[in-house]
Amino acid sequence: MKLTAEILSRDEQQRIHDHSLRVLWEAGVQFHSLKALKLLAEAGATVDWETKIARIPEKLVIQTLETAPKSFVLGARNSSYDYPMPSPHTRYTMDGTSAFATDFETGERRYGTLKDLERGVRVFMAADMGVMCWPPCCASDAPDGSRPLHEFLTMLRFCSKHGNHELHHPNQVPYFVAALKAICGDDDAVRQRKIASVVYCPVAPLMHDAEMCDAYLDLGAYDVPILILPMPATGTTGPASLFSNIVQGNAEALSSIVLYQLARPGRPLIYGSASGSLDFASGGFLTGVPEMVLQTAAMAVMGRFYGLPNTATGCVSDAKATGIQAVIEKVITTLPAVLVSADLVSGIGEIETSQNLILEQVLIDNEIAHFCERLHQGVDTSPQKDLIEDIIHVGPGGNFLKARSTRVMARSDEFYIPQLAVRQSYENWLALGSPDMRDRAREKVREILNSPLVDPLPEVVSREIDEILREADKELSAEE
């Protein structure tokens, strides 16, 4: 059977849901978008226009959970990367939007650029466990008013897997939609293919900002999926117990679902979370800790409770450098999310609480993902794996190397063959210059960057996107 984890009993899930309903009704949720408040008021929420707090009744939650799709396909520019959700196995997103990147050549930590972003997503293309890309770093060299568009479109240009990012303002929406049309063909194809989605963080505790919210409401017309990612931290922006911080995060997620389903019933949503744990000694937001992943894995289970496709933050680290701390933190924050069968774990490639992109880390994390998957697959006792006849046939004192089954199993999913782990004999290893996993990852990264682009955009589409960005630079930077 599969190796799985149980993190919330059915009764505990129900309690979290019931508590969340109390929060939504008794405390309410603040929406800074007037559009959002109007939608909520018309649908039956009790709105205080002065404080902008909407008290959301249970019936709205039930109604909107019904219209939210229970499955859909996360499309990709190259359809062989399409990812149907929910999924029987866990796959990964790139970690997103660090301020810094570690220069692959010099090792210097500096502000990220469009070039770093391009390199990051090209390495992600080679990470076989990754299905959803996210601009791994911010582009400090892109113009301010149109920066998210540069980041979004550079990602879609260099990565043919599904792309997720954010828009900050409704004025960015037309350019983004124009680019999606250029890539997909027309409006209908944009709606159907769903090659890109947006990430939405409610503002903990229990608030929604105006501009991002309005931009995402506008994108509803194109059925652009939203990845909902509440991130309350235990003790600062959320209560100081895992259970209650889960309740608050769940209430924040539900309030987002209510809003976006009221605006466009049937719009695809992914239920996610990136809740944090407080470093009580410094106030820091910790991600690479058990208390973080216990929350996000539990919330992935809440996503399932509602029947929604889900994602959990994991494979993350607060370490300031690659190495022992980073790997320990990444493993412990991946495994629980995998063992509860989250559809997506977010995400790979960064350290320093998602503030530093390291190209080698993308491949190292991909390896962690494989190891965790193998654990999750557990001990398969199906007839194909039942080799009792071989035991009897070989008997005492023989060996199994000549058995047909050994040959077959060696190349089956029974044994994961690592891409990076070092397994040479000691002398051989010395002779090779004592490489470690990081050295091997570096070699692979260099190979990837020296190889031709995978799935480049057709020349005309690429030019059209250049034109859209030029226009956006002109118009949006002028508005700044």
Partner 1 sequence: MIEGLYQQMKQSVLDGDYELAETLAKKALELGIDPLEAINNGYMPGVNEVGQLFSCGEMFLPELVQAGEAMKIAIAIFEPEMARRGSQRESLGKVVLGTVEGDIHEIGKTLVGTMLTANGFEVFDLGVDVSVSRLIEKALEVNADLIGASALLTTTMIKQKSLVDELKAEGLDKRFKVMVGGAPVTQEWAQRIGAHGYSEDAIGAVAVAKRLVGKAG
Query: Under rule CB under 8 A, how many of the chain's residues touch partner 1?
Result: 25
Residues that bind ligand B1M (CB under 6 A): 96-99, 138, 166, 199-201, 203-204, 209, 212, 231, 237, 276, 282-285, 353-355
- 278-297 footprint of partner 1 as x/- string (CB under 8 A): x-xxxx-x------------
How far is 302 from 230, CA to CA, in rounded Å? 13
> Residue 190 binds what, of ligand B1M, partner 1, none (CB under 5 to 8 Å, by partner type)?
none
For residue 330, the minimal CB distance to partner 1 (Å) is 20
- By a kind-dependent CB cut-off of 5 to 8 A, residue 170 interacts, out of partner 1, ligand B1M, none, with none
* CB of 212 or CB of 437, closer to ligand B1M: 212
Binding mask 78-117 for partner 1 (x = CB under 8 A): ---------------------xx----------xx-----
> Taking the complex as a whole, how short is the minimal distance between the CB of residue 237 and ligand B1M, in angstroms?
5
Instruction: Select the span of 252-260, 275-283, 295-303, 437-445 touching partner 1 (CB under 8 A).
Output: 275-283
200 binds, among partner 1, ligand B1M, none (CB under 5 to 8 A by kind): ligand B1M
Which residues within the stretch 126-185 sit at the binding site for partner 1 (CB under 8 A)?
A: 138, 140, 144, 147-148, 168
Which positions from 198 to 217 touch partner 1 by CB under 8 A, shown as an x/- string? Answer: -----x-----x--------
The stretch near partner 1 (CB under 8 A) out of 21-29, 277-285, 316-324, 423-431 is 277-285
**What is the contact surface with partner 1 in residues (CB under 8 A)?**
99-100, 111-112, 138, 140, 144, 147-148, 168, 203, 209, 233, 235-237, 240, 278, 280-283, 285, 353, 355
